Structure 1
Amino acid sequence: MIRSFWAVFCLLFAVLVSVVPAGGLVIENADLSQAEVNLLFAMREYTLTYNGYADRLPGWVTGPFANEEVNLHVNSPDGVLVIGITFHDRKVVQFDAKSRSNPIATVTTDSSTVESVMHSDQPFDAFRAAMRNGTVTIEGNNLVGKLRVGMILFGLWVLDVLGL
């Protein structure tokens, strides 16, 4: 009896440790398809890569959302997966499958674009290309959000004009 209790306890602990590091992953919508769950976990793992490079990205890209919340809407054949992202000091500190109640901006894209950015050797360039072709859009949700999104769009436009 005690042996099986410890086996169950160790198994539960291992699952929690493997799923909950760095702020945890909260899934509010239990109706997610397997493809959405897979994408969600892949994106969550990618945040570790993003956080590792966040300090190297231009300040005008990461700065406007340095200490803000953003909602990401990922369109797929299964519907729209809404992901709430919280940034602190230009890094992702919380990433959940539930929307934020007062996000400064909403980013909309599709699952194939998310995957292409995550698997790119140059994710910033892949993101810029997606912005250019309209598969990623960013909308400010309040005046400050609109101003900050405008700053990002202006910076991307300058890069395009300069051919960088």
Structure 2
Amino acid sequence: MTPPFRVSLTLLVVALALVPTAGGLVVDNADLTPAEVNLLFAMREYTLTYNEYADRLPGWVTGPFEDEKVNLYVTSPDGVLVIGITFYDRKIVQFDVKGCPDPIVTVTTDSATVEEVMVSDRPFDTFRAAMRNGTTTIEGNNFLGALRSGMVRFGLQVMDILRL
């Protein structure tokens, strides 16, 4: 990709990201590869669906991060894309491709898992499977984050034991 094309693409993405959506979701952007841009916009679109159903998810999953910031590290052949996710009232309200300062937890996964969750008919179960097989991890970045992420991991283990 030529540098002028990359700059144009980045400016287009930034301009589109600054346009507020009906759900109020804001995407703050940085210099991205085309694959990262595609993943980010797919996640942005999926987030609108997630936000519609966030209140139906178990409270022990969404509650610990209700009004917090989380960094998502997505590994791919292009490297690692760090996406800061800001939650408010159990919904995602902002993406920041530079990551969030002082996130409560860090979630690490690969781009294939992110895409699997987004296309799944049962995204929560797909996420659980990724946690089980180790392709997704959640780590607390401070004491409160460790407690809250531990609560989520414990809840997922209980669901697995009870075969829910």
TM-score range for the pair, normalised by the shorter chain length: 0.7 to 0.9
Coordinate RMSD, CA, aligned = 1.6
Deviations 1:24-59 (A, max 9, x none): 21112x1x2111110011001111011011000000
- Structure 2 match to 1:100: 100
- Structure 1 match to 2:153: 153
> Distance between the aligned counterparts of 1:41 and 1:140, measured in 2?
27
SS, match of residue 80 in structure 1: strand
Normalising by structure 2, we get a TM-score of 0.87
SS, match of residue 25 in structure 1: strand
- Structure 2 match to 1:25: 27
* Structure 1 unmatched runs, 5+: 1-11
* Structure 2 unmatched runs, 5+: 1-11
Q: Using the aligned pairs only, state the percent identity.
A: 70
Deviations 1:74-93 (A, max 9, x none): 00000000001000110001
> Distance between the aligned counterparts of 1:78 and 1:17, measured in 2?
22
Larger radius of gyration: 1
Amino acid corresponding to residue 149 of structure 2 in structure 1: V
- Structure 1 residue ranges, 4+ long, deviating more than 3 angstroms after superposition: 15-20
Amino acid corresponding to residue 62 of structure 1 in structure 2: T
> Distance between the aligned counterparts of 1:123 and 1:17, measured in 2?
25
- Structure 2 match to 1:61: 61
- Structure 1 match to 2:78: 78
> Distance between the aligned counterparts of 1:102 and 1:153, measured in 2?
21
From the superposition, tell whether residues 129 and 102 of structure 1 become closer, same or farther in structure 2 (CA, over 3 Å): same
Deviations 1:78-119 (A, max 9, x none): 000000100011000111212101100000000000000000
- Structure 1 match to 2:119: 119
SS, match of residue 151 in structure 1: helix
Amino acid corresponding to residue 43 of structure 1 in structure 2: M
From the superposition, tell whether residues 27 and 129 of structure 1 become closer, same or farther in structure 2 (CA, over 3 Å): same
